[in-house]
Amino acid sequence: MSFLISDALAQGDAPAAAGDPFLALLPLVLFAVVFYFLLIRPQAKRQKEHRKMVESLAKGDEVVTIGGMAGRIADLGDNFVLLDIAEGVHVKIRRSAVESIMPKGTLKDL
């Protein structure tokens, strides 16, 4: 007789376990929303600001590269920048390798 009771209990749990399919997807949706606002959106904003900064580079700007090299822009091209890092020492780098523009006169303090 016990084999009939266990079957009846198992059948009684089946409808309760199914539940609402929306509630099953809710944690996944919440995770995606948090992931977007904490990771994707800020990174896209930083990329947009960097692109804008790279487009605004001008001759004579003092910059720091991603590699940590500081210098003054001697010449600009479409994709490359000629960077004066010391007296008579020029380095050609990609425009996108410029990390930030420093205030004028910063290189004299170094």
For a pLDDT cut of 70, what percent of the chain falls above it?
82
The pLDDT > 90 percentage for the chain reads 70
pLDDT at 107 over 90: no
**What's the pLDDT tens digit per position in 65-87?**
999 999 999 999 999 999 999 98
pTM for the model = 0.69
List pLDDT tens digits, range 6-18. Answer: 555 555 545 555 6
d(CA 37, CA 8): 47
Distance CA 60, CA 62 (A): 6
pLDDT of residue 110: 61
Select the more confidently predicted residue: 98 or 10. 98
- Side-by-side strand order, sheet with 98-102: 89-94, 80-86, 70-76, 62-65, 98-102
Give the confidence band of 64 by pLDDT, cuts at 50, 70, 90: very high
The first and second tokens of residue 38, run together, are 């904490």
Q: Which of 20-24, 42-46, 51-55 has the lowest mean pLDDT?
A: 20-24
